[in-house]
Amino acid sequence: MKNKINLIFAFICVVSMCSMKSTSAQNPFIRDQFTADPSARVFNGKVYVFPSHDIQAPEGNGLRKDWFCMEDYHVFSSENLTDWTDHGMIVSQYDADWVDATSYSMWAPDCVERNGKYYFYFPSNTKADGPSGERGFGIGVAVADKPEGPYVPQEKNIEGVHGIDPNVLIDKDGQAYLYWSQGNIFVAKLKDNMLELDSEPMIIPNLPEEGLKEGPWVFERNDKYYLTFPHVENKTERLEYAIGDHPMGPFEMTGVIMDESPVGCWTNHHSVIEYKDQWYLFYHHNDYSPQFDKNRSVRIDSLFFNADGTIQKVAPTLRGVGVTPSNSNIEIDRYSAKSENASIEFLNPENTFDGWKTIFEKKGDWISYNSVDFKKKPKTIQVRVKADNGGVIQVVSDNENVIAKIEVPANNGWKTIETKTLKSVKGVHNLKVEHISNDPVEIDWIQFDR
Ligand code: FUB
């Protein structure tokens, strides 16, 4: 009996050690590691995100310092798109017999559910002497009983598939299709076992001929099939789409979902899901690594369709999606809008994962942050702030009530100031933080009733 109790205790400890919770309704939404190529899926009423896991090339093994470097995958889940759980590492390059474990090339994956099993598709460089005997990028599958794993990789990669960026669509009639890229975008039917091709790979025609195409993501809505993919039309990737009446096409090029990164992040890679009656675009940007665009971070924004089924272009935001509880850190640097002179900088450029701060240089600077959820009327506000000469800021709600005025004493370091609120608010509100004094003020976060 005692042994049984010890075993249960050990199991609970292992499970809780493997799952880390963090709150972020803002972009980027994974805050402690680089993540890219987010494939989002809805399983059992929750959103699961299967991203690539960018790292910096380890020293001493001859890897290029200026290239993608990925050793393993984690999976993340959320019910509200605000609180994210990291379920830990699910597959690494050392787990699959066919993977060249010196290549660090675990690029963009995908995962689908069929008959209660979870099929995780991932590309990597193959071993010269591996089970398939072929070199180059192959795509393998790992299978689990739960989205969080444990996943068991198949011994061989999928025969007949050479390339990267797997994506799987299971159509309404139960037929599964595998899409991938290698210069062009390919499609083939999958057998019911989800592990083997059931048709010859076909290049999808009628897509742009010039410029790299990769990262296919196919979804169905109102009997139309959307083939979405990153494409280099000019200098860097932008997200484009084509529409067809069948999973294998023909598809007709229709438009752009997201323009090129304004700061030159070379890749973008995305997925599209509907969750709780809202469509979302998951994509990536190099938020935590502005100097090196192969260390990326995943983001979410809402996506909307026009009445004719075309997709409205998505403007990337820092605010992201979901509501932010009023009693959590409200990172106003992940703003909804700001005045021209309000600026954002890293708190600590040496460790960008520490996050950002808002800088108000002049009187009248402001920043707004939407969808803060006041479950209770707040009595106090806390602000982490820095102001060498002191200053005053105020927080205004969307009905123009000044909720709080915060007098910041002169100080030369970060301080958390607490002040009583002036007006009560309840429910979900958009907030505006305004600088109403003359000297510079820097803000890390605000919070109510800490
Ligand atoms: O993450 C490595 C590669 O960069 C992906 O496979 C591509 O889609 C691009 O995002």
Confidence bin at 11 (pLDDT 50/70/90)? very low
Confidence bin at 106 (pLDDT 50/70/90)? very high
pLDDT at 449 over 90: yes
Is the distance from the beta carbon of residue 269 to the nearest atom of ligand 1 less than 6 Å? yes
Is the distance from the beta carbon of residue 139 to the nearest atom of ligand 1 less than 6 Å? no
Q: What is the mean pLDDT of residues 105-115?
A: 98
pLDDT at 17 over 90: no
Bridge partners, 41 (sequence order): 48
Task: Identify the residue whose C-alpha is closest to ligand 1 atom 9.
Answer: 267
DSSP 202: E
Is the distance from the beta carbon of residue 54 to the nearest atom of ligand 1 less than 6 Å? no
Contact 139/81 with Cβ under 8 angstroms?
no
Does 324-448 match 22-303 at the fold level? no
Rounded distance from Cα 40 to ligand 1 centre (Å)? 15
pLDDT at position 19: 73
Rounded distance from Cα 165 to ligand 1 centre (Å)? 7
Confidence bin at 3 (pLDDT 50/70/90)? very low
Residue pLDDT, tens place only, 297-335: 999 999 999 999 999 999 999 999 999 999 999 999 999
Buried b (16+ CB within 10 A) or exposed e, 387-396: beeebbbbbb
Bridge partners, 407 (sequence order): 392
Residue pLDDT, tens place only, 391-425: 999 999 998 899 999 999 998 899 999 999 999 89
Q: Where are the domains of the chain?
A: 22-303, 324-448
pLDDT at 141 over 80: yes
CATH code that applies to domain 22-303:
2.115.10.20
Greatest Cα pair distance, the chain, in angstroms, is 71
CATH code that applies to domain 324-448:
2.60.120.260
**Cα–Cα distance for residue pair 57/312, rounded to 1 Å:** 38
For the CA of 68, the closest atom of ligand 1 is: 2
**Cα–Cα distance for residue pair 242/354, rounded to 1 Å:** 39
Is the distance from the beta carbon of residue 318 to the nearest atom of ligand 1 less than 6 Å? no
Is the distance from the beta carbon of residue 404 to the nearest atom of ligand 1 less than 6 Å? no
For the CA of 230, the closest atom of ligand 1 is: 8
Residue pLDDT, tens place only, 186-206: 999 999 999 999 999 999 999
pLDDT at position 132: 67
The catalytic residue positions are 37, 214
Note the Cα 54 to chain centre separation in Å: 12
How high does pLDDT run on average in the chain? 94
Comparison of pLDDT for 430 and 9, the residue scoring more: 430
Is the distance from the beta carbon of residue 107 to the nearest atom of ligand 1 less than 6 Å? yes
Which amino acid is it at 46? K
Least confident of 59-63, 150-154, 272-276: 59-63
Contacts of 317 (CB under 8 A, 6+ apart): 27, 301, 336
How many residues can be counted in the chain?
Answer: 450
Comparing C-alpha atoms, which of 69, 37, 40 is closest to residue 52?
A: 37
- Strand order from edge to edge, sheet including 83-92: 20-23, 83-92, 72-78, 46-52, 36-43
Confidence bin at 92 (pLDDT 50/70/90)? very high
pLDDT at 14 over 70: no
Residue pLDDT, tens place only, 333-362: 999 999 999 999 999 999 999 999 999 999
Contact 297/28 with Cβ under 8 angstroms?
yes
Q: Which of 267, 268, 271 to mutate to test the pocket of ligand 1 (most atoms within 8 A of CB)?
A: 267
